Structure 1
Amino acid sequence: MSTFRMPRRRHLIGALILLLGIVFSFLAADPRTPDLTLKPWAHRISEEVNLLFLVLGIGGLLFAAWRKKDRALAVKTLATIGTETGLYLVAKGTTWYGFHLLSRPSGTDGGFPSGHTAAAVVVAWMLSDRFGAAWSPLFYAVAAGIAWSRVTDGAHYAYQVLAGAILGYGVAWVLGGRFTTPAAPDQLQNPSGLG
């Protein structure tokens, strides 16, 4: 079994939705002079919707794992979120403490990459895997909205949001297929061919 395989169609469609949201951020928003009519909405999405999406998404995945006694889903959820957070903190640390690289639109350090976007993309990927292709566009649209809101709210430049999306998508892609639920005993074939 190959370690790196192409993501499922739902994740490729999700990547296109994310890309559209980020392109819209590049074209429609200047984080140094945010549009005051959109800023309150962007701030709400950036803060409240993001928090709600992450808490309900991760909580829902862990609840589903507990309810179905699906240890692989629990490990996958915790490992993927933990890896994304760890890599984000390493990347953020290189641009935060005195290096003054890739600053935020406000001029403060620590804008690269967007952690809100990275986490939202990881959660969108995992929710799409768990709840199916029908819900996938919605999950990725929420992640794209969070990415857009970070630029429109003036917290990040669009390239920082793009880096966060790449980080989240990459971690989810690499770890997404690593943890699978073993087949239930009644689904296994009898190797001896008897009974």
Structure 2
Amino acid sequence: MTAADTRAMCWLLRQPQAARRARMARLVSRLGDGPFYVALTLLIWWMDRDGGSEFALTAMAAYALEVPLFVGLKHLIKRPRPADALESLSAFIQPADRFSFPSGHTAAAFVMATLLCIYFPPLAALALGLAVMVGLSRVLLGVHYPSDILAGATLGTSCAMLALWVV
């Protein structure tokens, strides 16, 4: 898996369009930051007084599971970021922490996408598309391997489903 991840990273980041893609990826990646999900949850709560409260409660439960799990896994596995492991690669941004597995941005994006799919099915394609784009942006920025994204998506979806079951 690491060899395939390394080949994919080297190929992507050595493409002539890599810097241009990174500029766009930076914008998409910002959507994976926490404040966007808080604002979106508050907007849903405000606009949908019936289902919005349940959505907000489920989102809080899902993130209460996801955040400590992704932080714990990063510190347990301690996989170095691509640019730290490969001298020939440079990241386009400075990540917030040292470790790459799993992707926290992707996990958070898939928590929200999964909940939006369940509570608001007409938004499913948009929500999942955005979650995939957040994950891909992290690879294009050089801070995650593709398998980090897959693990983050799995973690986020699992935490959302568990929160739905608990709440």
Q: Is the 8 A contact 2:59 2:160 kept in 1?
A: no
Which residue of 2 is the match for residue 151 of structure 1? 139
Matches within 5 A, 1:55-94: 55-63=38-46, 67-68=49-50, 72-94=54-76
State whether structure 2 residue 99 is matched by structure 1 residue 110: yes
Deviates more, 1:141-150 or 1:170-179: 170-179
Report the RMSD for the aligned CA atoms in angstroms.
2.6
Post-superposition offset of 1:70: 6.2
Q: Which runs of 5+ in 1 are unaligned?
A: 1-25, 96-100, 180-195
Deviations 1:62-108 (A, max 9, x none): 4357x33865433322111111111111112224xxxxx32111217
Matches within 5 A, 1:36-47: 36-47=19-30
User: Hey, what's the Cα distance between the residues in 2 that align with 1:69 and 1:124?
Assistant: 16
Structure with the greater alpha carbon radius of gyration: 1
Identity of aligned residues (%): 27
- The structure 2 residue matched to 1:120, chosen from 94, 103, 109, is 109
Distance change in 2, residues 1:138/1:89 (3 Å): same
TM-score (norm: length of structure 1): 0.64
State whether structure 2 residue 164 is matched by structure 1 residue 176: yes
TM-score (norm: length of structure 2): 0.74
User: Hey, what's the Cα distance between the residues in 1 that align with 2:147 and 2:100?
Assistant: 10
Post-superposition offset of 1:129: 1.8
Which one has a larger percent helix, Structure 1 or Structure 2? Answer: 2
Which residue of 1 is the match for residue 91 of structure 2? none
Post-superposition offset of 1:177: 3.3
